[in-house]
Amino acid sequence: MTSCPVCNEPETTAQGLLHGEYHLRHCPVCGLMFWHPVRARGPEAYDAWPLDFAEVRPVWTGQSAHAKFLRDMPARGGRLLDVGCGIGDFCYLAEKAGYATTGIDFSHRFIEVARQRFPDLDLEEMTLAKFATKRADEKYDIVTLVQVLEHLDNVRHFLKMVTTVLRPGGYVVCAVPNRSRWRLFSHTLREDWDYPPNHFTWWDADSLASLFTRHGLTVLSVEVDPVRPFDCAFLLTEKLGLVKLAAWVGRRLPRGGGRHGSSVDSVSGVGNRAATLGYRLYHKMVVPLCGLATLPLLPFLRKGGESIYLLAQVNSEPSA
């Protein structure tokens, strides 16, 4: 028997989908789909990710969850902990929006680049469990988990750690890939990054909400993004190999060192300026053109877009 990593239900069912040594299973109780065996990768795997243009590109986050949070801001100001902060863009934008922001990531490379780009931010290279021990006396008004849960091999323990660092009445913002995207085309068009050993859990709105309610949080809202031409465009650029081509070109540009400072606006060196210009052209021209090319597909796609956004709140009174 293969138990569910969220609710521990032993009677999960095989879905008949294989990916290398991994097979997909479905939990009839909480609705989660997950890959077995669940063996999350360590930080060294993420340290090896190519971060082309990261040191020179402008501040930007492609996550719709970040944009939505900054637009709605369920808590105005306060202390915010971004778990899995990557190279720091969201932390920088949240700081500008009035939050006292801390970012953590267990990847040495990500934090190294984030500190180069945003030297004034509070950034830590560690897991959430280690952070909760190191800063046991610190509590946060908001914890953001954007594109994090799907990477984990112990979701239950992780969410318990989240609740330990939150103040009573604090919020959790979570976003995960929507497993129902591109449903009409089954798994033919699913992005390569959504398979193990990168992602181990596949979520829909109900299974994500079930996770938080099982841990005593109140789910305030769950939203599934609508399908956007932007999403289709990135899928097309990935399938055509344009992302890899851009990375290949970027790695061959002569780039200077230098720190951007807290604004990440000034770029020096011919290679750096070329990389920045190429990055902007890619996002301002290539992606929109690919989006236009995929517009005929939109009527055939179901409404579920690339990600699911959840807002939850812990009990306003401390536990007895």
**Is residue 250 located within the same domain as residue 180?**
no
What are the pLDDT digits (tens) for 198-219? 999 999 999 999 999 999 999 9
Span 232-289, pLDDT tens digits: 666 666 656 666 666 565 555 555 544 444 444 444 455 556 666 666 666 667 666 7
Total number of domains in the chain:
2
210: containing domain: 41-230+301-313
Same domain, 125 and 46: yes
**Residue 39 confidence class, pLDDT cut points 50, 70, 90:** confident
In-domain check, residue 109:
yes
220 located within any domain? yes
State whether 192 and 291 are in the same domain. no
Same domain? For 156 and 266 the reply is no
Token readout for 68 is: 């939505």
Cα separation, 98 vs 83, in Å, equals 18
With a cut of 70, say whether residue 35 has pLDDT above it. Answer: yes
Pair (124, 271) in one structural domain:
no
Q: Is the pLDDT of residue 74 over 70?
A: yes
pTM over 0.85: no
Together in a domain, 218 and 164: yes
Q: What share of the chain is helix, strand, coil (3-state, %, to 5)?
A: 40, 25, 40
283 in the same domain as 308: no
Indicate whether 219 belongs to any domain. yes
112 with 159, same domain? yes
Is 171 within the bounds of a domain? yes
Asked if residue 164 is part of any domain, the answer here is yes
Q: Which amino acid is at 37?
A: P
H or E stretch including 90?
helix 89-96
Is 78 in the same domain as 225? Answer: yes
Q: How far apart are CA 82 and CA 78, in angstroms?
A: 13
Residue 40 CA to residue 217 CA, distance in Å, equals: 25
Give the pLDDT of residue 289: 72
Co-location of 98 and 214 in the same domain? yes
In a shared domain, residues 151 and 253: no
Clarify whether residues 149 and 242 are in a common domain. no
Query: DSSP string of 195-256?
Result: STTT--EEB-HHHHHHHHHHTTPEEEEEEEEEP-HHHHHHHHHHHTTHHHHHHHHHHTS---
State what percent of residues in the chain have pLDDT above 90: 49
